[in-house]
Homo-oligomer: A and B are copies of this chain.
């Protein structure tokens, strides 16, 4: 291809990095694609790196060695995180969202790409140093959010099912006790979906007492794998005894009062 100007190379490099979070891309790749010397690409990269940091768009890391190159770690400023959390809190506190049983209807939010992609960047930013192999979720509402977290971490998503499917091949199933209702439920995962000895994080839309998270932990044990973190959009803080301790949440839900007002607030880490 024809030689590009520095401006164009920088636009192209930014586009490629943004689209490939947490994946190492070699200088050779850029050099061939953009028909430019590696030294030129290095100079371009300094500008992209500086811009990302100045704009609070995350970091571009240089990885040395034979498998080296650069990788882009997306992030946003703490102010933007707070602003986002406040916006979602406002959306979710709408009284018309209360459905019978005092549940909050949040399905539309969990399937809104602009919200999910932002929440994905925020939750992922807590796990960059955890050396995560898989992001695990349970069907269905949390799937897009968990997918975005997996994408930002550059790893595979694994979705635990509520029932066996013929297309999954051999599966491992466990029973677990839902922390809030006390009911026994089932979850299953295809035998081939996870390598032994993996480090996993669990991502979901909403967490009450943490029965599902506890179930996931037990299920991962069956794969000789470990749960190293939990991230949710909303956690319920009124659910009494917690079955799992540490978790990251963006919002805290307390209760719905007698007038149907939703008591919800930004989690302490963002306020």
The interface of chain A, by Cβ under 8 A from chain B, is 1, 4-8, 10-15, 18-20, 23, 47-48, 50-52, 54-55, 57, 99-101, 103-108, 111-114, 116-117, 139-141, 143-144, 147, 150-151, 154-159, 161, 166-169, 190, 192-193
Contacts and interface: CB of A to CB of B under 8 A. Distances in A.
A168 B11 contact: no
20 contacts: A6-B7, A10-B10, A10-B11, A14-B15, A15-B52, A18-B18, A23-B114, A99-B166, A100-B169, A103-B166, A104-B167, A106-B167, A111-B156, A113-B154, A116-B147, A140-B140, A141-B159, A143-B144, A143-B147, A144-B147
Nearest to A190: B107
Contacts of A117: 19, 151
B105 A15 contact: no
Contact of A47 (B8, B48, B99, B161): B8
B111 A159 contact: yes
Contact of A190 (B4, B11, B105, B190): B105
Interface of A is mostly: helix
A55 B166 contact: no
- How many identical subunits does the complex contain? 2
A192 B192 CA distance: 37
A169 B99 contact: yes
A169 B50 CA distance: 48
A18 B108 CA distance: 23
Nearest to A101: B166
Question: Top 4 nearest A-B pairs by Cβ distance?
Answer: A113-B151, A99-B169, A111-B157, A11-B51
Contact of A51 (B4, B52, B99): B4
Contacts of A151: 113, 117
Contacts of A167: 99, 103-107, 141
A214 to B, nearest CB: 20
Given A15-B57, A113-B154, A140-B161, 5 more contacts: A11-B13, A107-B190, A108-B193, A113-B156, A144-B157
A139 to B, nearest CB: 4
A80 to B, nearest CB: 12
Contacts of A15: 14, 18, 51-52, 55, 57
Given A111-B157, A140-B140, A51 B105 contact: no
Contacts of A10: 7, 10-11, 14
